A and B are shown apart, each in its own frame.
Chain A
Amino acid sequence: MPFGLAAPYTLVLIVFLLLPVALIVTISFWHYSNFVMTPAFVLDNYRLVFSPVYLKTYLNTFRFAVLVWFFALAIGFPVAYFLSFEIRTTRIRMTLFLLCTVPFLTSNIIRSISWIPFLGRNGLLNGGLLFLGLIEEPLDIFLFSSVSVVISMVHLYTLFMVVPIFNNMMRIDHSLLEAARDNGASDWGVIRHVILPLTSPGIMIGTIFVLALVLGDFATVRLMSGGQAASAGLAIRNMISSTQYPPAAANAVVLLAVTLLVVGGLLRFVDVQKEL
């Protein structure tokens, strides 16, 4: 009977996850030329993935991942801290928390697009800076650049950092903070020696979320860079668009492996069982 309960989902996983992945792995070794793919076992597709162009693309993807991770943490941690420790009543805390999730009621694409009028040449940001006299003419750097990609992704993914950290922080007994202060810890000391170590599992889980999301992203990168930046996901998409399925599959396999490696590496630092 216990197996019976797990069976439907196991079936779903097999049919919709394991089989497709197996298929992708298989196709990644197929031969491909002139829009036709033929079953084979060749490494050409992988050779392509490891060519300088795609290595550069992967590096760029990691650059986005690291930047977005950094800002998501830098913004998410204080937000979680504020909600957990500065807000005294549960009702206000939950209200504010729900407020944080409101943007998630709209689609990712819409939330990305809404940055465009803000960051554009005639956008609010440039307008504001011009008004303040900080710049003399509108800056192009805010939109269709790495800047706008990172801003948009940080906006999209910070909540994925906030939630696990917040969850961790809510479980910290406030007397621990007082005990630390009593023992001479400064505000920063309390964070550094007590809160940070005790929320590190949450940070790790948030990190896994954010990295996995950014590594696989193609829509935001394309949209917000104005098509001028590359990411692994975008490269895969371009290949699929041109019906180059075998190299796209090889790329997907490599991306999957890289993501699993990163997540696996991070999981070594966190006992997920304990957090569930």
Chain B
Amino acid sequence: MERSSSAPGISRRTFLAMASLAVGSGALAACVPAPASDAVSEAQAPEVLTGKIADIVLRQIGTGVSGVNEIAEQAKADLGFTIQMTALGTDENNQRAITQPGSYDIFDGEYFSLPLVVPSGALQGLDVSRIEAFEKIAPTFTTGKLTEDSVIAQGTAPHKVMFLPERNSTSFAEGMTNWATLIPTIYNADTLGYRPDMVEKVPTSWADLFDPVYRGRTAILDIPSIGIMDAAMVVESAGLMEFGDKGNMTREELDGITDILKEQKALGQFRAFWKTFDESVNLMVSGEVVLQSMWSPAVTAVKAQGIPCVYQPLAEGYRAWGGGIGISSGVEGMELDAAYDYINWWNSGFAGGFVGRQGYYSAIPENARLFMSEAEWDFWYEGKPASEPMVDPFGTELEPEGAVRDGGSFWERMGRVVVWNSVMDEQDYLVQKWNEFIAA
């Protein structure tokens, strides 16, 4: 990898890998660099220890967004141990995390899963002092405010579930502590996607999802906790209802929104409800649906098939989600050290640059920038016109020269997040109401 050799971050990484390889026991704190000479001199039996490091396999479960083989391969090259990735759906990922903590070492999940996962005690608190450059992590995750004057968004904003009082706590801390649940990796702001070639009216507001001009051509997500959020954005912007907190609705609010959804379903407003990434892509590509809630890479996937698709910024702002990685409660010793190394590696730049070229944001943008070209950084983070065609890490051209990212820069997009993917207090009731909506 050309980029690796020239990037300043990697030499440090390589060094760290070497150091932990040499010490082996894990006595080395990740944030305290040890002189290289010490590390070498302390190596009593490098061959044996090398074998041990190479023998470490960290089993990662994740939703596939960040569970990319290329990242695992680079991690192995940089760190010396193996990351074994299992891609699961959001639901399966949560289930596995909660019910079989012994079956994985690394949990790669979304923040809004934490209210489900943390009470089970399946994850161990992460020692913030062992996390490199923790202070550089986008403040969205630590304080909830991207900038000083940002308004804290509704829903399960990551900072609300970011910290634990103690290492083994099963409930969240109020403010910042030394124990974190997940270390953020990637995140994004979601909105509606539409087919510019198949609509006569350009959507400008979430309310347009209920506009009769799109009747029978719209879709929303059939994952209750996310779907309800999109629905809430629509209902609120259409002036049909107001919510105290869209990310944490009351029973009355759930009743109200379900009635509205049932009404729209009866009118034939929806073509389908999708549950997986592929479904959303296929609905759009086939033209069965022309306006729907989508994930950013799904829009990219539609465009990659030569079908025009716009990820439209809307007047009300974005619904955001964030993902991170944590460590299973049972991981200890050398594996635990390796897990910390892996977490630190994630935000050291390579992975951030990799997902950045897919349109996701990295928790430490400045590190990701080290692994992106000037043109890539300008396009994906700065919202400037592409000075050259944008190519994703797999070689597919996503955007031609001169294109501008839908919604603009990182700050414009992440600064306009109005709600985060959530798990509500009334989650049980939500699922019940959602089933009622589907059955209607």
Enumerate A141-199 residues with CB–CB distance to B below 8 Å: 143-144
**Apart from A33-B428, A227-B222, what are 8 other A-B pairs with CB-CB below 8 Å?**
A32-B428, A35-B427, A140-B271, A144-B272, A144-B288, A228-B273, A238-B431, A243-B98
Please indicate the chain A residues that have their CB under 8 angstroms from the CB of B274 in the complex.
226-227
20 A/B residue pairs, CB under 8 Å, sorted by A: A34-B428, A35-B115, A35-B119, A36-B119, A56-B439, A57-B435, A116-B282, A121-B286, A122-B287, A226-B219, A227-B222, A229-B439, A230-B438, A234-B438, A235-B439, A238-B435, A240-B95, A242-B224, A242-B428, A244-B431
Pick the contact of A243: B95, B272, B282, B436 (CB < 8 A): B95
Question: Cβ of A36: which chain B residues have Cβ within 8 Å of it?
Answer: 119
Query: Is B428 a contact of A244 with CB atoms below 8 Å?
Result: yes
Q: B91 interface residue, CB < 8 Å from A?
A: yes
CA distance in complex: A185, B274 (Å): 54
Q: Mark A204-225, 1 if CB is under 8 A from B, else 0.
A: 0000000000000000001001
Chain B interface secondary structure, helix, strand, loop or mixed? Answer: helix
Bound-complex Cα distance A238 to B275 (A): 11
**Residues of A27-50 whose CB lies within 8 A of B:** 32-36, 48
Q: Are B286 and A228 in contact (CB under 8 A)?
A: no
Contact of B116 (CB < 8 Å), options: A35, A117, A228 = A35
Q: Are B91 and A241 in contact (CB under 8 A)?
A: yes
For chain B residues 246-266, which have a beta carbon within 8 Å of chain A? 265
Distance between A276 CB and nearest chain B CB, rounded to angstroms = 38
List the A side residues contacting B91 at CB < 8 Å. Answer: 240-242
- Contact at B224–A238, with CB atoms within 8 Å? yes
Chain B nearest CB from A141 CB (Å) reads: 10
B residues near A56, Cβ cutoff 8 Å: 439
Q: Across the interface, do A228 and B265 meet the contact criterion of CB distance under 8 Å?
A: yes
Which B residues touch A33, using CB under 8 A? 428
Q: How far is the CB of A43 from chain B (nearest CB, A)?
A: 16
Nearest-CB residue, chain A, relative to B268: A140
Interface residues of B in 381-440 (CB under 8 A from A): 423, 425, 427-428, 430-432, 434-436, 438-439
How distant is the Cα of A51 from the Cα of B222 in the complex, in angstroms?
A: 22
Residues of B bordering A, CB below 8 Å: 91, 94-95, 98, 115-116, 119-120, 216, 219, 222-225, 265, 268, 270-275, 282-283, 286-288, 423, 425, 427-428, 430-432, 434-436, 438-439
A239 at the interface (CB under 8 A from B): yes
User: By the criterion CB–CB under 8 Å, are A227 and B273 in contact?
Assistant: yes
User: At the interface, yes or no: A54 with Cβ under 8 Å from chain B?
Assistant: yes
How far does the Cβ of A236 sit from chain B's closest Cβ, in whole Å?
A: 10
Residue of B nearest to A33 (CB): B428
Chain A hits for B95, CB < 8 A: 240-241, 243
> Is B288 in contact with A242, judged by CB distance below 8 angstroms?
no
Quick one: which of B119, B287, B435, B438 contacts A228, CB cutoff 8 A? Answer: B438
| Of the residues A60, A116, A239, A243, contact of B94 by C-beta under 8 Å | A243
Question: In the assembly, what is the distance between CA of A247 and CA of B432, in Å?
Answer: 10
Query: What is the minimal beta-carbon distance from A113 to any residue of chain B, in angstroms?
Result: 9
Contact residue among B119, B287, B425, B427 (Cβ-Cβ distance under 8 Å from A242): B427
Restricting to A97-120, which residues have a CB under 8 Å from any CB of B?
Answer: 116-117, 120
Asked if A1 is an interface residue, CB under 8 A from chain B, the answer is no
Once bound together, how far apart are the Cα atoms of A241 and B227, in whole Å? Answer: 14
Complex interface: chain A residues within 8 A of B425 (CB): 34
CA distance A240 to B223 in the complex (A): 12
Report chain B residues within 8 Å CB of A244. 428, 431
CB of B286 within 8 A of CB of A122, answer yes
User: Which residues of the other chain, A, contact B270 by a CB distance below 8 angstroms?
Assistant: 228
A225 to B430, CA, bound (A): 21
For the complex, is A53 an interface residue (Cβ under 8 Å from B)?
A: yes
A34 touches B427 (CB 8 A): yes
- A226 and B427 form a contact (CB under 8 A): no
The 10 closest A-B pairs by CB, nearest first: A226-B272, A227-B273, A230-B439, A241-B91, A227-B222, A53-B436, A242-B431, A144-B272, A57-B439, A230-B438
Which B residues are CB-close (under 8 A) to A57? 435, 439
CA distance A241 to B224 in the complex (A): 9
CB proximity of A18 to chain B, nearest CB, Å: 21
Nearest residue (CB) in A for B98 is: A243
